[in-house]
Every structure is written in structure tokens, then in C-alpha cells.
Chain A
Amino acid sequence: MEAFVNAVLLTLLAVVTVAVIRQRSMFGVVILAGIYSFLMASVMVALDAVDVAMTEASVGAGISTIVFLATLHLTNTRENPRPRNVMLPLFVSGVVGAALIWGTFTLPPFGIADAPIHMHTVPHYLQQSIRETGVPNVVTAVLADYRSFDTLGEVTVIFTGGIGVMLLLKGRRRRQDRNGGISGT
């Protein structure tokens, strides 16, 4: 049953990806990207990674879609004509894809319990986290306590991102018509 659900979700992901590539209207691309995020969130639920699924659904499908739509309002909604020579992009994506698939050959089997990553600190977290931190959810205990410094870095990234967008968009407005941009009305 789980294999069937995964197969359906991954097939839909591939279909949406092809649809994104073929879509010329940027509006359609944004909506398809939102659908892709929701499918990805469903895959995360199937993998029992509920925290990631929640983030993917709210940020990937929610906020990102809004921000993309707002960007379309500022720029053009049609994609520029396709470049004539498709051989180089095809070659690059083919080589990168092959390298990624080649890399998976040396990974331990999927979902196996004694993979190296589960042998190092994970047993300690699973057995001791509630006694040491008092937080029943191990994910929260790792993110907010054991790896608190990483989370501080992530918050700083969001801080920097917010400040960066505000600097870019809220600066003094210059009334010049950018290439293909909207002329201020």
C-alpha cells in the first residue's frame, strides 16, 4: 500500500515537472509550482516526516506562491522565447542527473535501521532526550536544544532574507521603465 501511494505521488511529481517545463505562461508555472509543493508535502507525510511536510505545505505552497504572484505583478507574465541551442542545457542536466543517480548507488538501503547516520548520536537522542531536555518530541528537542546553534543560524538567515528583500524593494523608487517591466500607472 505504501509503495503504491509513493509510486502515485512520485509519478504525479514527474508529470507536474514536465508540465512546468512545457508551460509558457508564468502564471501557470507559479500555480504548478504550488501543486508540486503540495505533492512534495504529501511525499513527506508518507515518509513520516510531518514537520517537514507542514513547512513545505505552508512555505512552499502558501507563502512562496503569494510571493511569486507578487513578483509577476512587478515583472512580465510571459517567458522569454526559448534559446535556439538546447544541446548544452540538455548535456549539463543529463550529466548532473547521471552523477546524482550514480551517487545513490553507494548509499545504504532506504529506511534501514543500522545505516551509519543512525549509529552516531541518534540512539542517544532517542533514549535520553526526554530525560535530559523534558521535551517529548525528539525533532523539537534536537532542533531547539541539542542543535540550537544551527537553529540560531537559520533564524539569522530569515532575518537577513527579510532585510534583503526590504532593501531591494523599499529603496528610493526610480521612475525608469525596466526592460519589459510595467510602466508605473
Chain B
Amino acid sequence: MKLDVILRIGVKLILPFLLLFAFYVHFHGEYGPGGGFQAGVMSAAMVILYGLIFGIDAAKRVVPQRFVELLIPIGVLLYVAAGIPAFFEGHRFLDYGVLSDDAVQGRVLGVLIIETGVLITVAGAMTAIFYAFAERGRG
């Protein structure tokens, strides 16, 4: 356990930048490449990297398994919720124009909301799959 000091310190240095980059990819998805999906994968990769180096129990203390499993349906529900308000204004499902007085502003807001939904579901699903495999591996 003493020999992996470089890995431990290196991972500790990388993790905050990984999370920052994930958020950059998420919020910058409207301007550059990337979006909720890629940001979700990066957030999950951060937890997985932490779990690989510091052990699965340490990772579960930071990001509890129950919380991760809850994220999976929450993201889908958030996505669907962004589409519901259109019904009350007589528009079609997922027509985000109604989310704001200005139709274009509403669509920008809608894109951000559904990308956040994608991020939450992807990050939750990837981390939950990793936890499930790691738990099973202990047999």
C-alpha cells in the first residue's frame, strides 16, 4: 500500500480538474463539442477512478450507492418534466418554447434542462454499473 503513493497523489490532483472539465463540457455543449452525455460519463469516470485507487468503500462514502441508483430515474423524469409544460399551452410534447416568454430563450432553457437530465441519468447509470460489478466481485 506504500508503493502507490504516486497514484494516490496523482489521482487527488486530477479529480477536481476532471469534475471541472465535465461541467465545462456540459455547460459549453451549446457552443462546442460535447453535452450532457459526455459530461455524465466524465463525472462517472471521476467516481470510478477514485474507487479504483482508494477502494470501493471510500468511493461509496463520497458518493453513496443509494444516491447513485436514485439518480438514474431522476434524470429521465427531469427530461420528461421539461416536455410537459408544452401541453398546457396547446403545444406538442418537448416543445420548450413555452418555458419562457421569449420562445428562443425558452428553447435555450429547455436544451439546458434536458442536457442536465441526460447528465444525471448517464452519470448515475455508469457509476451504478461500476458499483454493481465491484460488489459482485467480492462474492
Interface residues of A (CB under 8 A from B): 50-51, 53-55, 58-59, 62-63, 66-67, 70-71, 73-74, 131-137, 139-141, 143-145, 148-149, 151-152, 154-156, 158-159, 161-163, 165-166, 168-170, 173, 182, 184-185
Contacts and interface: CB of A to CB of B under 8 A. Distances in A.
Interface of A is mostly: helix
A134 B33 contact: no
Contacts of B85: none
17 contacts: A50-B33, A51-B34, A51-B38, A54-B33, A73-B133, A131-B104, A145-B96, A149-B94, A152-B83, A161-B125, A161-B129, A166-B129, A168-B132, A169-B133, A169-B135, A170-B135, A182-B139
Q: How large is the interface on B (under 10, 10 to 19, 20 to 34, 35 or more residues)?
A: 35 or more
A58 B42 CA distance: 7
Contact of A151 (B104, B118, B136): B118
Interface of B is mostly: helix
B57 interface: no
B137 A55 contact: no
Contacts of B30: 135-137, 140
B45 A58 contact: yes
Contact of A162 (B105, B118, B128, B139): B128
Contact of A163 (B42, B48, B72, B104): B72
Interface string B97-131: 00000001101101100110110011011101110
